[in-house]
Amino acid sequence: MQHATIEELRGALERASYLPDEGLATALFLALRLEKPLLLEGEAGVGKTEAAKALARATGARLIRLQCYEGLDVAHAVYEWNYARQLLHIRAAQEGTVDEAELFGREFLIRRPLLEAIESELPVVLLIDEIDRADDEFEAFLLEILSDFQITIPELGTISARRRPIVILTSNRTRELHDALKRRCLFHWIGHPTLEREIEIVKLRVPDVPARLAEQAARFVERLRTIDLAKPPGVAETIDWTQALAALGQRELDAGLVESTLGSVLKYHEDFQLVRDSDLVALVAEARSGR
Ligand SMILES: Nc1ncnc2c1ncn2[C@@H]1O[C@H](COP(=O)(O)OP(=O)(O)OP(=O)(O)O)[C@@H](O)[C@H]1O
Ligand SMILES: [Mg+2]
């Protein structure tokens, strides 16, 4: 489904339970309109992966996801020959002979996410998640796909996309990506949301949460981000934490409960200690009073 304006797309994303800010909504709109890959960078838990998933829901496209990791290769990302089937085929044809072309036909191909996305007749959002975890060589290999939307299989020839998938790449920036890759993509940095937006996100994601609890939790987390933490909490942590507090029947923050549930927000022991040793009671009071 095409959305004529940024506002329309934003509305569709909201109905898909995702609240982008103006900048992200614009970037996603342009990715659709220009059919250009979009690279989303940002810290952990700011909504990079979910942006791609929500875009698929909002446009009625199928989501195809490639999770990147060190050592990811063509056999897992693009295609692989199904040796077992090829062997069976040879055995079944024992009497006759099998020529090579027959063995390397499409029915013996195992399609991995990139090939699936290129071959799809239906609209696809292709999520290439955490590209910074893949090796340099794989990144270089992606260039052909991202610029020409085609894949070359030596035994079969070049397969071109019948319709271009919408490609969203995400990176946590554990390493810099190559300029050649960046040049082929639109780019958007997702930062932490404003307080107002984060409250809205929490309300959207934690059904039936008391409004006051959502506000106080978001305010508390926002304040935590100003402390020098090893890993500042993302929206994901705010959501998890509010969910935990709501599950405990909490309607507001209180210092004792904050201390015992802080593990949902801070995932490093040093961060936990830092916050506990700063004036937790004062921090909670601040979040409660809204100052
Ligand atoms: N703008 C938003 N609207 C709605 N939900 C959001 C938004 N941003 C983040 N979230 C929620 O926060 C959680 C974390 O998001 P997501 O997994 O996409 O983060 P990420 O940036 O991919 O993190 P990581 O780098 O750890 O993979 C998800 O549950 C997602 O629904
Ligand atoms: Mg992610």
pLDDT digit string, tens, across residues 128-169: 999 999 999 999 889 888 889 999 999 999 999 989 999 999
From 155, 190, 225, the end of a domain falls on 190
Indicate which CATH number applies to the domain containing 63: 3.40.50.300
What CA dihedral angle connects 42, 43, 44 and 49, to 10 degrees?
A: 0
The reply to whether 162 and 69 lie within a common domain is yes
1 domain residue, yes or no: no
| Residue 48 near ligand 1, beta carbon < 6 Å | yes
pLDDT digits (tens, 9 = 90+) for 90-132: 888 876 777 777 889 889 999 999 999 999 999 999 999 999 9
| Residue 113 near ligand 1, beta carbon < 6 Å | no
Contact 151, 143 (CB under 8 A): no
The reply to whether 13 and 146 lie within a common domain is yes
Give the nearest ligand 1 atom to 17 CA: 4
Q: Which residue from 277, 269, 172, 279 is spatially nearest to 230, judged by alpha carbons?
A: 269
The reply to whether 65 and 209 lie within a common domain is no
Closest ligand relative to 53 C-alpha: 1
User: To test ligand 1's pocket by mutation, which of 53, 68, 173, 235 has the most ligand atoms within 8 angstroms of CB?
Assistant: 235
pLDDT digits (tens, 9 = 90+) for 253-265: 999 999 999 988 9
User: CA angle, 191 as apex, 188 and 196 as ends, to 5°?
Assistant: 125
45 domain residue, yes or no: yes
65 domain residue, yes or no: yes
Give the nearest ligand 1 atom to 239 CA: 12
From 136, 158, 190, the end of a domain falls on 190
46 domain residue, yes or no: yes
CA of 257 to the centre of ligand 1 (A): 25
The reply to whether 68 and 31 lie within a common domain is yes
The reply to whether 126 and 50 lie within a common domain is yes
Closest ligand relative to 235 C-alpha: 1
What is the arithmetic mean of pLDDT over 180-204?
96
29 domain residue, yes or no: yes
From 168, 190, 212, the end of a domain falls on 190
16 domain residue, yes or no: yes
pLDDT for 1 beyond 70: no
- Name the H helices within the chain: 6-15, 22-34, 48-59, 74-77, 83-92, 100-103, 113-119, 136-148, 179-183, 195-205, 211-224, 235-247, 255-261, 269-277, 280-289
The reply to whether 242 and 122 lie within a common domain is no
The reply to whether 98 and 231 lie within a common domain is no
The reply to whether 186 and 230 lie within a common domain is no
The reply to whether 155 and 281 lie within a common domain is no
Structural domains counted in the chain? 2
The reply to whether 89 and 171 lie within a common domain is yes
pLDDT digits (tens, 9 = 90+) for 196-252: 999 999 999 998 899 999 999 999 999 999 999 999 999 999 999 999 999 999 999
Domain range enclosing 282: 195-289
278 domain residue, yes or no: yes
The reply to whether 52 and 98 lie within a common domain is yes
Q: pTM for the full model?
A: 0.92
120 domain residue, yes or no: yes
DSSP string, 142-157: HHHHHHH-EEEETTTE
Separation in Å, CA 202 to CA 31, 46, 50, 234 = 27, 13, 14, 12
The reply to whether 230 and 149 lie within a common domain is no
Contact 251, 276 (CB under 8 A): no
